[in-house]
Structure 1
């Protein structure tokens, strides 16, 4: 008798649970725990994967280098630099007492923007049919660039101090040609600096330095 009553109680409980489940499915709410807190809306803003700031953001993006760039950099842009030549410079040629048998070429930028002295000057006395060689060990680490009003220099060995040179003669006119961005290319107009009235004596050892930023460097060879 007790067993039969227990079985009836279990059957009734099962029927009650089935009724509750059916009611939950019909109203679309499903089974919810009593007292469970409702989830709150998230306030986190998802950052775009491409690194752009979301609309309304006040965050300022810092430069990757950690410092802001302002004004003009130390080196001018290539488009702002001309090639030094006879049209934008003044060229002088002066004999010096030391070293012996040397001449100093000075080129002063008379233009409105910086110019670069490429390689070395190409010299020609009068109607000379050969080109003096450049002193290879005088090549600077960087091309001298002259701001307006600044000067560059080249040293010229006119003749051998020991008399070992050949074909010595006196030049009355000097032409200084400028090179372009590639060796032996034309850099533009030549210059004809004035020489002393007696002219300049030279021989087969005539040679020239690369353009330098300092006169002392030009006369060190």
Structure 2
């Protein structure tokens, strides 16, 4: 009878451990879900945007988005960019720069997008004084709020070959395309 009692006791103890682990797993999953749900989409309302002309590579700008909010934000895909006030379509996204995962910006952290302004292969073009920026949402659509940035030196020349990278976690990667 003792061996039966021990066996039952071990079985009962094992069941309690399994139940405790299952409960902990549910709590951990619940905490992860809560944390994920507290991440918002990066927009012009919760980020500071800056655009700078870089010396290398030539014909490039660097767009920087810094999370100024109190919650982490997702920098989805690439920004929609409008070169000049009269632009009819956004710059093309450089598909070869698609990251493996969506960038999550903790408060105070930044994401970067490299902008190729023109190429000899492109057509037409004009010197533009402003750059309109709209963030993408989870579905790849614009968030509907544009931030207009002034371009340095009275403007930058853009032609039909202008492209923008997907958001990257560092400036070097954004400018390597």
Shared fold, TM over 0.5: yes
Asked whether 1:196 is paired with 2:152, we answer yes
User: SS of 1:44's equivalent?
Assistant: helix
1: CA distance, partners of 2:114 / 2:5: 71
Structure 1, unaligned runs of 5 or more: 1-39, 54-58
Q: After superposition, what is the alpha-carbon deviation per residue over 1:150-184, rounded to whole angstroms, capped at 9, x for unaligned? A: 10000000001xx232111011121101111112x
Aligned residues: 168
Asked whether 1:166 is paired with 2:123, we answer yes
Given the superposition, is the C-alpha separation of residues 76 and 142 from structure 1 closer, same or farther in structure 2, using an over 3 Å criterion? farther
Structure 2, unaligned runs of 5 or more: none
User: SS of 1:128's equivalent?
Assistant: coil
User: SS of 1:218's equivalent?
Assistant: helix
TM-score, normalised on structure 2? 0.82
**Greater relative contact order (Cα 8 A, min sep 6): structure 1 or 2?**
2
Residue of structure 2 equivalent to 1:153 = 112
TM-score, normalised on structure 1? 0.66
Asked whether 1:124 is paired with 2:82, we answer yes
Residue of structure 2 equivalent to 1:33 = none
Structure with bigger gyration radius: 1
Given the superposition, is the C-alpha separation of residues 131 and 41 from structure 1 closer, same or farther in structure 2, using an over 3 Å criterion? closer
Where in structure 2 are the equivalents of 1:66-215 lying within 5 Å?
A: 77-125=35-83, 126-160=85-119, 163-183=120-140, 185-215=141-171
- Report which of the two has the higher share of helix: 2
Per-residue deviation, 1:99: 0.6
